[in-house]
Amino acid sequence: MSGTEAAAPVGDGRWEPQHVVVIGGGMAGLVAALDCARVGIRVTVLEGSDHVGGALRAEEVGGLQVEVGAESYATRGGTVRALAESVGLRDSIVTPNPEGAWVAAAKGRMAPLPKAGILGIPSNPLADDVRAVIGWSGALRAYLDRIMPVLTVGTEHDLGALVTRRMGRAVRDDLVAPVTMGVYSSDPEALDVTFAAPGLNRALTTAGSLSGAVATMRAASRAGSNVEGVIGGMSALVDAIVHELQHSWGVEIRRDAPVSALERDGDGWAVSVSGDSSAGREEGEGLHADYVIVAIPEAPALDLLAELDPSLADIEPLEPPRVDLVTLVLDDSRLDRHPRGTGMLVSPTAGLTAKAMTHATAKWSWLEERARVLAQHRHVLRVSFGKAGEDTVGGLSDDELVALAIRDLSTMLGFPLDPASIVDSRRTTWAGSIPGAVTGQRARSESVRERILEIEGLDVTGGWLAGTGLAAVVPDALAAAGRIRHRVAQRVLGDIASGSSGS
């Protein structure tokens, strides 16, 4: 659809672009805005906070611009890479250091996370790297999966129960739980096999064992890294999208502009905005939209839309997992050898409060190069806390949380960190999306979406519907934008047909 096709005639015969207002400037909102703007639709983005990009965010810590949110994306589907390439970042896409992460397991075991697995489920329970984590007893118990009665045709749902039944508690606690906590901030029992590991159910019925199913899936998968990043950090993707929106398509992006009301206005919408007086706008200032895309978190989205469909007020928003991230910039020559690879995942049996650690300067060579410009032994470590249903550190002050991070890091690294080596630290708190792999969440989100889509001229997107991560959010936002683009095209073609018949 060209720019001309995205326009509609006004009274004097001139053509005026259809106007889409995107409520929310997180990644879902920005991607939807970009997809609409690229076909000539006039777009305005309204973001309630002072920054756009959602969980993609960089801050200066210890003289370095470091990511304090998502620092990579899953490569599945290819949609995020395609997005990055489309905004000029093709040459900036990088893969992480292949050293990989370690796992902190029971009895003080620290070992590299086995590579030949899916969600931590090993394809060979007796492999050396598996035994290094769960020991001989755990490995032998896991091997019983190969000689137990074969799995019959059916659908497994509870990932944790499946792993425990087939391979034992050690695999569940020390291999699978660290991965699901790191990826989904959830215990294995909360995850549906169908969505956490697509294709595993089918492979189970073919292979007859869980380890055999994992081996089959790995053999069929494409080689290469499962995640990628961008030189400069994932916030560079936000900057590139914003630059194209503003400089190529003239999209207005309003920050500090929370939407207070959404009402019908003829064939379109009246969008009331709590104005920013510093920008010369009046409180309650509104604008007209032909179509609206709602791309804000679940609770405010349901509050806003309940005025249009009162039944939405009966939906109880889910509480997303809270994650507290401590970013540390420090000088310590012992970290030069990357003692725990690119980071560490933590088993619930390890006796630590932290759920994961990322050695960012070990994981990303571009960041290591920038750090060493400042100091020879400068490093960036990110320590995360929190999981669904638990708020373990919310009551701690920033200083107390940094002290806890240093204590846990000392255990994970195997040597005591000197607090005096800390150049700077930053605490960032995120309320993430409910993962789409959580049991029942996929059906729930689609049911809510269907009810919202019954409101004519409006669409909805976001992580609370799509699930965790850019690989889920980006295609969901593109789908929402595609539905709106289709409606714009239908309206324009209808107007053209009406104009032709009246001439």
Query: What's at 438, amino acid-wise?
Result: V
Q: Which of 50-54, 206-210, 277-281, 497-501 has the highest mean pLDDT?
A: 50-54
Residue 202: band (very low, low, confident or very high) from pLDDT cuts 50, 70, 90? confident
Alpha carbon separation from 87 to 34, 190, 241 (Å, rounded): 10, 37, 6
Q: Are residues 288 and 352 in the same domain?
A: no
445 and 297 housed in the same domain: yes
The CATH number of whichever domain residue 297 belongs to comes to 3.50.50.60
Encoded tokens for 65: 């611009």
74 in a structural domain: no
The predicted structure's pLDDT at residue 499? 66
Residue 364 maps to which CATH number?
3.90.660.20
pLDDT band at 6 (very low <50, low <70, confident <90, very high): low
Distance of alpha carbon 319 from alpha carbon 154, whole angstroms:
31
Q: What is the pLDDT of residue 13?
A: 45
Instruction: Identify the pLDDT of residue 495.
Output: 73
Q: pLDDT value at position 1?
A: 43
313 and 333 inside one domain: no
Does residue 205 register a pLDDT over 90? no
Residue 68 lies in a domain: no
Q: Is residue 158 part of a domain?
A: yes
- Pick from 220, 252, 269: which residue ends a domain? 220
Q: Give yes or no: residues 157 and 169 share one domain.
A: yes
**CB-based contacts of 146: which residues, under 8 Å, 6+ apart?**
125, 209, 211, 212
Same domain, 145 and 216: yes
Residue corresponding to tokens 């607090």: 419
Where a domain ends, among 220, 250, 277? 220
Residue 221 clears pLDDT 90, i.e. is over it: no
Distance of alpha carbon 123 from its chain centroid, rounded?
Answer: 27
At residue 5, does pLDDT exceed 60?
no
Does residue 327 lie in a domain region?
yes
Whether the Cβ atoms of residue 2 and residue 493 lie closer than 8 Å to each other? no
Secondary structure E strands in 356-487: 356-359, 378-385, 422-431, 458-460
Q: Are residues 202 and 238 in the same domain?
A: no
The pLDDT of residue 220? 82
Q: Of residues 502 and 134, which shows the higher confidence score?
A: 134
| 89 located within any domain | no
Give dist(CA 487, CA 36) in Å, integer: 11
The pLDDT value given to residue 397: 97
Shared domain check, 445 and 313: yes
d(CA 342, CA 229): 14
| Domain CATH code at residue 151 | 1.10.3110.10
| Cα dist from 51 to 96, 150, 440, whole Å | 27, 53, 32
From the list 281, 289, 253, the residue with the least C-alpha distance to 24 is 253
**Of 77-91, 238-252, 373-387, 483-497, which range is least confident?**
483-497
Domain shared by 243 and 205, yes or no? no
* Whether residue 381 has pLDDT greater than 70: yes
Query: Which tens digit of pLDDT belongs to each residue from 436-468?
Result: 889 899 999 999 999 999 999 999 999 999 998
Please say whether the beta carbons of 197 and 31 come within 8 A: no
| Domain assignment present for 71 | no
Angle, in degrees to the nearest 10, between helices 79-86 and 470-502: 70
Co-location of 238 and 163 in the same domain: no
Determine the Cα–Cα distance for residues 184 and 159; give it in Å rounded to an integer. 13
Which element (helix H / strand E) includes 273?
strand 268-273
> Looking at residue 285, what is its pLDDT?
64
Residues 326 and 310 in one domain: no
For 171-235, give the secondary structure using H, E and C: HHHHHHHHHHHHHHCCCHHHEEHHHHCCCHHHHHHHHCCHHHHHHHHHHHCCCCCCEEEECCCCH
Q: Is the dihedral of CA 404, 405, 406, 408 positive or negative?
A: positive
Residue type present at position 14: R
To the nearest 10°, report the CA torsion of 241, 471, 80, 369: 90
SS3 content of the chain, % helix, strand, coil (to 5): 45, 20, 35
Mark which of 415, 431, 447 sits at the end of a domain.
431
Looking at the domain assignment, is residue 288 inside a domain?
yes
Which amino acid is residue 435, in one-letter code? P
Residue 477: domain span:
7-54+233-318+438-502
At which residue do the structure tokens 């030069």 appear? 336
- Is pLDDT at 151 greater than 80 in this prediction? no
Round to whole Å and give the CA distance between 282 and 273: 9
Q: Indicate if 341 and 297 belong to the same structural domain.
A: no
Residues 137 and 201: their CA atoms lie apart, in Å, by 27
DSSP class of residue 454 equals T
Query: What is the tally of structural domains in the chain?
Result: 3
Are 169 and 197 within one domain?
A: yes
Average pLDDT score over the chain: 91
Give pLDDT, residue 223.
63
Checking DSSP bridges between strand 422-431 and strand 322-331, what pairing results, if any? antiparallel
Q: What is the pLDDT of residues 261-284, one digit of tens each?
A: 999 999 999 999 986 544 455 555
CB burial string 156-175: b at 16+ within 10 A, e below = bebbbebbbebbbebbbbbb
| Per-residue pLDDT, 282 | 54
What percentage of the chain reaches a pLDDT higher than 90?
A: 78
β-strands 268-273, 58-61: how paired? unpaired
Asked, for residue 78, whether it belongs to a domain, the answer is: no
